[in-house]
Homo-oligomer: A and B are copies of this chain.
Amino acid sequence: MNNVKIVKVGGGVVEDKDTLNTLLDDFASIAGNKILVHGGGRAADKMLNRLGVEIKKVDGRRITDEATIEVVTMVYAGLVNKNIVAQLQKRSVNALGFTGADLNIIRSVKRPVKDIDYGFVGDVASVQTDVLYSLIEQGAVPVVSPITHDGNGLLLNTNADTIASELARALVHDCNVTLIYCFEKPGVMLNPNDESTVIPTLTYDEFKEYQESGVINEGMIPKLDNGFDALRLGVASVFITNTAGLKKGGGTRLILK
């Protein structure tokens, strides 16, 4: 069975030119099959501000109205994605940009309105990786932006962490999958201000204890829930790390028990 590494990079990594260059150097040096999934929230906020479109968020989650889905489509699938593709091509990585609409790889449903109307936000409904996998086997490197579609012509905004874990789960049928969440910090830390306190391996029970005692904070919780879900569904290994860890193999490894 072939190996494939899926690297999710957060907005903070993608939007600083120097950090992005380091990330892309390190990503390019990964041997074998690989996929890059990127965010771009901060670049989207900048563009929304320039266009005078109001930024609306509830508990850190974006409310994506009609003007906003237009802007995030431009920024994620156009500006951020194509710059990454061109920068990877420069590094001899045969990158190919994707949204979920391209080759219908990720279909979603517009989130139903309950207490909050999130607008044009898509919850993943199905993932189809047959042609994607055949491309990877031919040496192509998918670069995936966090836009999906509903199959009825609508583009929808979908969380990039979720896209990475959904792709990982779908690919377990064909490959031995490693999922790496790459963000600003070197891993899950006992003390957020002390990089020497990175936890090398984290079990699900430990995660839940740390969550209860408040050691692991809000932003990290959905990432870890996503990661443990992926492990349960057959993803071989899940890491949380930064660009340095991507290269040297450090960070926090999630294990079920």
Contacts and interface: CB of A to CB of B under 8 A. Distances in A.
Contacts of A151: 89-90
Interface string A103-137: 11000000000000000000000000001001100
A140 interface: yes
Contact of A85 (B85, B86, B99): B99
Interface residues on A, range: 35 or more
Contacts of A74: 47, 74-75, 78-79
A248 interface: no
A206 to B, nearest CB: 41
A219 interface: no
Interface in A157-187: none
Contacts of A99: 82, 85, 97
Contacts of A94: 103-104, 131
A101 B89 contact: yes
A208 to B, nearest CB: 39
Contact of A101 (B50, B70, B82, B149): B82
A31 to B, nearest CB: 20
A161 to B, nearest CB: 21
A86 B151 CA distance: 7
A14 interface: no
A153 B97 contact: no
A213 interface: no
A70 B78 CA distance: 9
A149 B83 CA distance: 10
* Among A70, A87, A89, A149: residue with most chain B CB under 10 A: A89
A153 B90 contact: yes
A34 to B, nearest CB: 15
A79 B90 contact: no
Nearest to A130: B138
A51 interface: yes
Contacts of A75: 74, 78
A64 interface: no
Contacts of A103: 94-96, 140
A77 interface: yes
A9 interface: no
13 contacts: A73-B82, A86-B155, A87-B153, A89-B101, A89-B151, A90-B151, A90-B152, A90-B153, A94-B104, A95-B102, A96-B102, A96-B103, A97-B97
